[in-house]
Amino acid sequence: MNSPSVDAPLVQSARRRGLSGPQKRQVRTFFLALGYLAPSLIIFLVFIFIPLVRTFWLSSYITDPIGRPAMFVGLMQYKKLFATPVFMNSLMRSLTFVLYTVPTTLLLALILASLANLRLRFISIFRIIFSLSIAVSGATASLMFMYLYHPSIGSINYLLELIGITPIPWLVSESSALPAVSLVSVWLQLGLNTVILLAAMQSIPDELYESAMIDGANGWSRFVHITLPFLSSTFFFLLIVDVLAAFQTFTPIHIMTSGGPLESTNLLVYSIYREFYFNGQYGFAAAQSIMLFLIMLGLTIFQFTVVERKVFYE
Amino acid sequence: MKRSLFALMAVLTVLSMVLAACAPAATQAPASAATQPPAATAVTNPTATIAPPKSADAVKIAFWHSMAGDIGGKAIPTMANEFNASQDKCYVEPIYQGSYDDSLNKLKAGLQSKDTPAVVQLYDIGTRLMVDLKVITPVQDFIDKEGYDLSDLEPNVLAYYTVDGKINSMPFNTSTPMLYYNKDLFKAAGLDPEKPPRTFVEFEEAARALTTKEGDKTTVYGGAFAIYGWFFEQFLAVSGGYYVNNNNGRDGYATEATFNSPEGVAIFDWWKRMVDEGILANYGRKTVDTRNAFIAGQTAMFIDSTAVLRGVMDSVAGKFEVGTAYLPRPNEAAYETAGTIIGGGSLWIINNRPQEEQDCAWEFIKFQASPAQQSYWQTMSGYFPIRKAAYDEQLTKDWVAKYPQFQTAIDQLHIAPNNRVTQGGLIGVFPTARQTIETAIEELLAGKGTSQEILDKAAEAVTQSLSEYYVSMGIQP
């Protein structure tokens, strides 16, 4: 680009020579592919890249309560992120939340999928039950759990009392609110995880199990040596999706706790929402969004470079 | 090949999820309420529909409201239909926009894209912000133009919405908090069910007497307060305390939070003392959770808006007798000097709509303020009428006869003196301030410091928000 004088003759000579047949075909294929991709590329551009750029732009301003930029402040909002505890606290809570939810979801989904994969009569009924939470919206599930968690009239505490355990102030206490919300999140993710794992299990060729059985492998070793390795790529996919979903959990928080009590459930995305829509701190919220984006990008790169090496592809 | 395809798919999924989350420019707002408007009954099927306009030439106006449940599903469409049928120049279309916060957020977005309603219902605490944004036409302009008679309207209600000497929005749904109590439990505890507690000390003593235990387990709590900033504001007002300086921000812009006064500290101490003793339950921030505990007979007294009376009565359904009383004051003398603040919402006319739409908006506002409509509205919702003539309507008379508990709400409004304390704080960052107080109460109950320390910290945060607000709005207080 710096030396057009050097490049120009090359281009000219290329033109003079003309493109060879295969090259022409490549160019044509490229544009054809672009044509096919155009609808999604345009959507990507309009709904994702432009907002991203706008978010970055907004993060360098102080705004009025309607969100109109009022004063350019450069990187001040980012300094504020690290100077005040708001951001770091909600980041730590989000990480805790990921730790609470993702391994639990994967483990439970694996157990449910293994059960659903058994060849029994009417197994499809169980498959439907196990995957039912896909059909329930986050808001509905949150409302359901709110009733279950109610400190005095909720069924969970009623059952606990029947077996002699002191009632837990689920959503009211600082220490139990995050686990309580995590449970809802796990419940919501479980259906999808189970279905995907089940589908992966069913795509494992029967011959492998048959020959393992001939070799005298028992159920457990068939599971460990055949099923699990075959599931690793699916696990990897679910791990990424679940971590991202956990980082972005919003609905249960908004409906059940509004980030409280004592900020104990004020996860990153909820904190962004609150600063943006509620406190009118548009620039600060935009800066938080950019940080969230960078964190998740970093996490994803880490997963692809480090974790992916351990994955077995068919 | 399969491997790279998979990687590509995963990368795309990841990117789209990450980036979609980072697009706060989108205006979509979530479904539920962060601040709960004191809407009453549980959500049932909205039934009424809006009839088409009588004349094709009618000026169409949009009316955004935040009334859920029966009130929004039935009462509001009925009122709109009656207005549309009463004349053929204007046609109003009510649109439910979610909670007040959601509605305000949509309005903020709409102001930039010119997608605004002619009339919007917003909460009391949005008043200063709406005036400062300069996006409204004060109803005072219309009142002056046609000499609209205000003498029948409740003076305390008008005073709340009077800013800089002008009535900026027309009150629509007004309420105050009151004490609800279970008369059967009063009798069982040996208390006189016709003499509910009037002061903080009496409340504490009653709560102690009402609390019943089986072994270690508390079966009935004497009382319960939801952690709701509005209740603190009200307790402060009945204690004669100011929320912010410059006489609650009503004699010039408020620059400093003052709720960390001895009055505020006394409220915090009282609240904490009762929770620590185990005679006041804490069911968290959601007022509905506290209400449900009362309905289930697990708490004998609680505080809530007058607007939920009908919902409470319907849910209790005669299982026990419900009594209502004034919000407790720190002492008897306070009944003379202080009182509750008007809560609820009012109707605003947005000034970027064409003049003819604004004129229609005013016509609609006048219609809803008429005695017959206010009476209907009150009996449907439990908010109290904004004008005195509504009490002469048969509908209201019947209703008060059926729910004598409602008389408390009316009396409480009328005994409150009209002064800077009972007019309540006026600040542009009220939603933030309310949330700061709610966090402060949580800190208090969790024992994170003394009442004074916690309130000082909260006051400092609100003062800081105020100064940021003025900078961003270009206001020099």
Chain B nearest CA to A20, separation (Å) = 27
Q: B27 near B109, Cβ under 8 Å? A: yes
> In chain A, what residues touch B472 (CB-CB under 8 Å)?
62-65, 70-71, 280
User: Looking at per-residue confidence, does B169 or B71 come out higher?
Assistant: B169
Q: Per-residue b/e over B317-341, b at no fewer than 16 CB within 10 Å?
A: eeebebbbbbbbbbeeebbeebbbb
Q: Alpha-carbon distance B244 to B257, whole Å? A: 4
pLDDT tens-digit series, residues B363-422: 999 999 999 999 999 888 888 899 999 999 999 999 889 888 999 988 999 999 999 999
Contact B34 A279 (CB under 8 A): no
Residue A260's pLDDT band (cuts 50, 70, 90):
confident
Per-residue confidence (pLDDT) for residue A313, from 0 to 100: 66
- Indicate if the pLDDT at residue A9 is higher than 70: no
For chain A, the straight-line distance linking the first and the last C-alpha, in angstroms and rounded, comes to 43
Nearest to B384 by CA among B154, B145, B183: B154
Residue B3's pLDDT band (cuts 50, 70, 90):
very low
CATH 1.10.3720.10 fits A81-310, yes or no: yes
Chain A nearest CA to B340, separation (Å) = 26
- Using CB atoms, pick whichever of B10, B129, B285 lies closest to residue A240: B10
Q: Alpha-carbon distance A62 to B377, whole Å? A: 42
> In chain A, what residues touch B7 (CB-CB under 8 Å)?
304, 308
Query: Structure tokens of B3?
Result: 């491997």
Distances from the Cα of B219 to the Cα of A86, A163, B212, B281, angstroms? 39, 17, 6, 11
Contact A152 B281 (CB under 8 A): yes
Residue of A nearest to B5 (CA): A313
Contact A304 B11 (CB under 8 A): yes
Distances from the Cα of B37 to the Cα of A62, B269, B343, angstroms? 29, 27, 10
Between the CA atoms of B126, B128, B131 and B135, what dihedral angle is there, to the nearest 10 degrees? -40
Query: Structure tokens of A123?
Result: 């197994």
> In chain B, what residues touch A270 (CB-CB under 8 Å)?
none
Q: Alpha-carbon distance A21 to A19, whole Å? A: 7
Q: Alpha-carbon distance A261 to A279, whole Å? A: 18
SS3 B318: coil
Structural domains of chain B sorted by starting position, each given as residue range(s) with its CATH number in brackets: 59-175+343-415 (3.40.190.10), 177-340+423-473 (3.40.190.10)
User: With pLDDT > 70 as the criterion, what percentage of chain B qualifies?
Assistant: 90
Contact B24 A289 (CB under 8 A): yes
> In chain B, what residues touch A68 (CB-CB under 8 Å)?
112
| Minimum mean pLDDT range among A277-281, B77-81, B141-145, B249-253 | A277-281
Distances from the Cα of B319 to the Cα of A150, B108, B279, angstroms? 21, 45, 23
Q: How many CA atoms lie within 13 A of B245 on its CB side?
A: 11
Which residue out of A53, A71, A172 would a mutagenesis test of the B interface target, given it has the greatest number of B Cβ atoms within 10 Å?
A172
Chain A nearest CA to B256, separation (Å) = 18
- Indicate if the pLDDT at residue A126 is higher than 60: yes
| Minimum mean pLDDT range among A1-10, A21-30, A105-114 | A1-10
Residue of B nearest to A66 (CA): B108
Domain boundaries, chain A: 4-51, 81-310
SS3 A198: helix
Residue of A nearest to B11 (CA): A300
Q: Per-residue b/e over B166-181, b at no fewer than 16 CB within 10 Å?
A: ebbbbbbbbbbbbbbb
- Using CB atoms, pick whichever of B20, B129, B428 lies closest to residue A48: B20
Contact A280 B21 (CB under 8 A): no
Residue B178's pLDDT band (cuts 50, 70, 90):
very high
Per-residue confidence (pLDDT) for residue B45, from 0 to 100: 42
- Using CB atoms, pick whichever of A153, A244, A279 lies closest to residue B292: A153
Q: What is the mean pLDDT of residues B116-137?
A: 94
Q: Alpha-carbon distance B36 to B125, whole Å? A: 12
Per-residue confidence (pLDDT) for residue A166, from 0 to 100: 82
